[in-house]
Amino acid sequence: MKDKFYAYIQNLQDQICAGLEAVDGTTKFREDLWKRPEGGGGRTRVIENGAVFEKGGVNISAVHGKLPDTMQKMFGVGEADFFACGLSLVLHPKNPMVPTVHANWRYFEMYDETGKVINQWFGGGQDLTPYYLFEEDAKHFHQTCKTACDKHSSEFYPKYKKQCDSYFWNAHRNEARGLGGLFFDYCKANEQMSMENWYDFVTEVGNSFLEAYVPIVERRKNLEYSSEQRTWQEIRRGRYVEFNLVHDKGTLFGLKTNGRIESILMSLPPHVQWVYDHHPEAGSEEEKLINVLTNPIDWV
């Protein structure tokens, strides 16, 4: 399974990067190959200063070795070996009318002293973080997520949509990071789903990413915007940074397992503001967004 899924994310990285380069039209991803001293490595691809994407990354990694002490405590196990691979992407567009997007699909195995697999699971999801609320875009993104889920179980979309709203929640701000999407983790074999079934589901969601995001980018990338709207985008990006550095499990896992720091922190946007005690003007489009972020709604 680990070889099968790693081959899948290698191909998916190629597909997504090609799709995004076509949307941007002016620049290409830079690729860096890296090795982890304890075992494994990855392929980081970053796009910067394009016509559409100010900064973004589409990264894959496959790491293995001894499970660090901090991770042993997190999983409630003793000494063990592990393997983890996944694709993680974040895109920060230049135009504040185009939403930021994040997605991740991953697979994890743990082994006993004989090398036998004692635990394995999939995780992942995709979520949208706009700066201005276009309900048409939110509905499109969520409908694409639902369509992918419904091919495998009618229970998946409502369950994983709710988990996404719960996970991407900036508790210290009492607001969502964005408009959500899907979030699933610890997807293990059970009476209803084998690991092959989970593989089929996770790859279905991964394959839906460009369909979920690219039409939104195409609709919004040429809209005009003001310097005030750009400032609002940078203030909201600050909330994005806060979540990634304070709450995100993926960031924590990368730091605790001695991942490549440039790859881990590629999710951070290049231009961000923290304005003291900032509140949007009453009745404004900015306030409209905040109202949705403090009270997540059902889009489909």
Q: Which residue is associated with the tokens 């399974």? A: 1
Q: pLDDT-based confidence at 72, cuts 50/70/90?
A: confident
Known catalytic residue: 102?
Answer: yes
Task: List pLDDT tens digits, range 219-259.
Answer: 999 999 999 999 999 999 999 999 999 999 888 878 887 77
Catalytic hit among 102, 140, 142, 152: 102
The larger pLDDT score, comparing residue 298 to residue 75, is at 298
Whole-number Å distance between alpha carbons of 140 and 211:
9
Whole-number Å distance between alpha carbons of 98 and 146:
22
Q: Which of 34-43, 213-222, 225-234 has the lowest mean pLDDT?
A: 34-43
Show the DSSP H helices in the chain as ranges.
Answer: 2-24, 69-75, 135-150, 156-167, 195-207, 209-220, 227-246, 249-256, 261-264, 285-294
Q: pLDDT-based confidence at 26, cuts 50/70/90?
A: very high
2-294 falls under which CATH superfamily? Answer: Coproporphyrinogen III oxidase, aerobic (3.40.1500.10)
Task: List pLDDT tens digits, range 122-151.
Answer: 999 999 999 999 999 999 999 999 999 999
- The torsion of the CA quartet 14, 153, 177, 97, rounded to 10 degrees, works out to 60
This prediction's pTM: 0.95
Task: List pLDDT tens digits, range 148-173.
Answer: 999 999 999 999 999 999 999 999 99
